Chains A and B, each alone.
Chain A
Amino acid sequence: MSAQLPLGIGLRDGATFDNFFAGPNTEVVVQLERGDEPFLFLWGSSSSGRSHLLQAACQGMSGGGGGAVYLPLSDNVELAPEMLEGLETMALVAVDDLQQVAGDTEWELGLFHLYNRARESGCRIIVAADAPPGALGILLPDLRSRLGWGPVYQLLPLADGDKRTALQLRARRRGMALSDEVANYILQRSPRDLHSLFSMLEHLDRASLAAQRRLTIPFVREQLAVIRS
């Protein structure tokens, strides 16, 4: 009998504050939700939740007037410095992966001018990168100093116990039951950054739906073998 294919409607995890497990980063999340700092800078490793938090902040703006825009600078095929024009009319501009354009004069100038215009118009700017402002290799000192104008936060990585909780939270939101044993089993056998763990969860979600099986250790073991092969 062939396996039943899951419906083509993928369940999107989305990026909201609700489905972010803050752990040691609760202060940052509270700060972002409150939204009263005109400028914020967040830095941390690539799977520290930077993109999730920036998008959650944009999503949070939809209720309260004014637009918001998310600029993933790692996507430099799609984006160009012209994208920064007029953004001060937004209530919030969230710039992700700033390290990608550090040293690029046009982007640096564009961002510097955006900071100046935003200060006049009252638009908030949140920037995220993989290192603090002083360690990014920004050439324009005017931009470098503006990056540190507001509070600078490091997004701390989650300890394994927190990762397990984050994984279980994400599973619950997808309607899956993930026991401590199975969560530990996954944590001990797959890359432990959150991106990989959540992708693994997405894979398991589809596979368990298709196979009509619960998430048990034997099932997860089979799936890990499938992924490796």
Chain B
Amino acid sequence: MTPSFWQKCLDALEHELSPQQFNTWIRPLQAEVSKDRVCLFAPNRFVMDWVTERFQSRIEELVSAYSDTGTLPVRFEVGSRAQVTNSTPVMTQEPGVSGESPSVSERAKPDYRRSKLQHNYTFKSFVEGKSNQLGRAASMQVAENPGEAYNPLFIYGGVGLGKTHLMHAVGNEILRNRPSAKVLYLHSERFVADMVKALQQNAINEFKRFYRSLDALLIDDIQFFAGKERSQEEFFHTFNALLEGQQQVILTCDRYPKEVNGLEERLKSRFGWGLTVAIQPPELETRVAILNSKALQTGVELPSEVAFFIAKRIRSNIRELEGALRRVVANSHFTGRPITVDFAKEALHDLLALQAKLVTIENIQKTVAEYYKIRVADLLSKRRNRSIARPRQVAMSLAKELTNHSLPEIGDAFGGRDHTTVLHACKKVASLKEEDQRIAEDYANLLRILTT
């Protein structure tokens, strides 16, 4: 049995289904073919149910038709090939940190994969500014003396300001100083999911044992614990046990702990036992420094005036700053052009124009009428004197350029005119733009008004 056997089934399904159906329901399936069966893994129950309900019998037919050995049972499961092959009990698999002592060779090197830490989020790559000075200093102290300096360390602030980066930096530093340390980073959603799974599998004791055995537990975005009472209860006990054992806890949140609705009072008050630090949005100089640092990491030379240009316009958060830089760099790689302010302005044009206006014929008529100080009714009327006809031709031409309406539709919208009139108007405006500077300017102005 070769992998091409399943490929043949896929080819047949791709031919029979619409591209959308195939890409949504069949492409995500992973097949494991053995001598006596075919196992199809779906990423979740939703996909599995949908596929079994609608396609199971057809898939079975195809399997029988293409397999060398005739009819083969087809089994559907939730999961993926890799996960199932490495299947291990819930707590060692799920949080990714084994409860066993590491071997000598393992001790030599920190295991970033199991800790779920992003190895590039370090103190070195974290750009310090007024907005995050305190948070950085506290995090460094915690990294030097985990469990002793500030416990818990509670970092809060708006989205995309670097809370997660700081948290990972502490974890990475702890591992650098003590490679055998058991550090785990996870998002609050993952903690909740692990707990639910443990409850379902009757493994809550393993869950507790596992989380309480960590040297440092880093939980991101704890505001998502709000309203999840059972998770809060479990977390409360884990939290207490870790603090008692002088194991480090670091938490991030989008606001000050007392302001999180739906969080138990006892948790809120315990969060204040250690140190609570805020991270503010970075000021201009810090945003420039962040851009320079990110550019350096990707090996790109970013002129300082370009860094200032981007930093002045993208103020919201660092994530979007990074996105903007990536866009400029990608554009420069593609075109081979050097990164200048004009270049950045062009590359980010659509990103900076946040409100993309929807251009309609009505909108064009209104704008053109206002521009030429005439009434929309004039544009739609039969009047043919130049002070009306010219704006009408300009408006028709704009409608052809900015909308997808057919020429007959455009003609209709201008008082029931024929499509040849629209075609004539477009040709006329094109030639007038060449000959008459004023018309060219009017047209450019109107285009700008309508599209920005």
- Chain A residues with CB under 8 Å of chain B are 12, 14-15, 26-27, 30-31, 37, 39, 41, 43, 45, 47, 51, 55, 58-59, 61-62, 67-72, 75, 78, 80, 82-87, 89-90, 94, 113, 116-117, 119-120, 131-132, 134-135, 141-142, 144-146, 148-154, 157, 160, 188-193, 196
Contacts and interface: CB of A to CB of B under 8 A. Distances in A.
Nearest to A70: B23
Interface in B2-35: 10, 15, 18-20, 23-24, 27-30
Given A55-B20, A132-B356, A190 B406 contact: yes
A193 B334 contact: no
Interface stretch (B44-52, B141-149, B364-372, B429-437): B44-52
Contacts of B47: 69, 83
A43 B404 CA distance: 17
A95 to B, nearest CB: 11
Contacts of A55: 19-20, 23
Interface of B: 10, 15, 18-20, 23-24, 27-30, 43-47, 50, 78-80, 82-83, 116, 118, 158-160, 187, 189-190, 220-221, 254, 316-317, 319-320, 322-324, 326-327, 330-331, 334-335, 350-351, 353-356, 400, 404-409, 419, 423
A59 B340 CA distance: 36
B351 A132 contact: yes
A33 B380 CA distance: 47
Lowest 5 A-B CB distances belong to which pairs? Answer: A70-B23, A154-B350, A193-B404, A69-B28, A151-B327
A83 B404 contact: no
Nearest to A54: B23
Contacts of B254: 141-142
A120 B116 contact: yes
A134 B159 contact: no
A82 B45 contact: yes
A67 B409 contact: no
**Chain A interface secondary structure, helix, strand, loop or mixed?**
mixed
Contacts of B15: 12
B320 A27 contact: no
B44 A87 contact: yes
A27 B350 CA distance: 14
A150 B45 contact: no
19 contacts: A37-B326, A55-B19, A55-B20, A59-B23, A67-B28, A69-B27, A75-B20, A75-B24, A83-B47, A86-B44, A87-B43, A116-B189, A117-B190, A132-B350, A141-B159, A145-B320, A149-B320, A188-B419, A191-B405
A86 B20 CA distance: 20
Nearest to A13: B19
Nearest to B23: A70
B327 A149 contact: no
B46 A85 contact: yes
B423 A188 contact: yes
A31 B354 contact: no
A192 B404 contact: yes
Contact of B330 (A27, A145, A190): A27
Given A69-B24, A116-B187, 4 more contacts: A41-B323, A45-B404, A132-B354, A151-B330
Contacts of A132: 350-351, 353-354, 356
B429 to A, nearest CB: 14
A87 B44 CA distance: 8
A27 B424 CA distance: 35
A152 B354 contact: no
A153 B43 contact: no
A145 B160 contact: yes
B243 to A, nearest CB: 26
A152 B323 contact: yes
Pick from B20, B23, B335, B355 the residue with the most CB of A within 10 Å: B23
A192 B422 CA distance: 14
Contacts of A134: 354
Contact of B20 (A26, A72, A141): A72
A145 B319 contact: yes
A113 B20 contact: no
B24 A67 contact: no
A71 B23 CA distance: 8
Pick from B44, B159, B404 the residue with the most CB of A within 10 Å: B404
B16 to A, nearest CB: 10
Nearest to A66: B30
A112 B190 CA distance: 13
Pick from B354, B356, B407 the residue with the most CB of A within 10 Å: B356
B27 A67 contact: yes
Contacts of A192: 404-406
A175 B226 CA distance: 59
Contacts of A196: 404
Given A58-B27, A67-B30, A120-B116, A80 B46 contact: yes
A37 B24 contact: no
Nearest to A41: B323
Contacts of B353: 132
Contact of A70 (B24, B221, B324): B24
B330 A68 contact: no
Nearest to B329: A151
A68 B43 CA distance: 10
A189 B27 contact: no
B316 A145 contact: yes
A69 B317 CA distance: 30
B19 A14 contact: yes
A59 B23 CA distance: 8
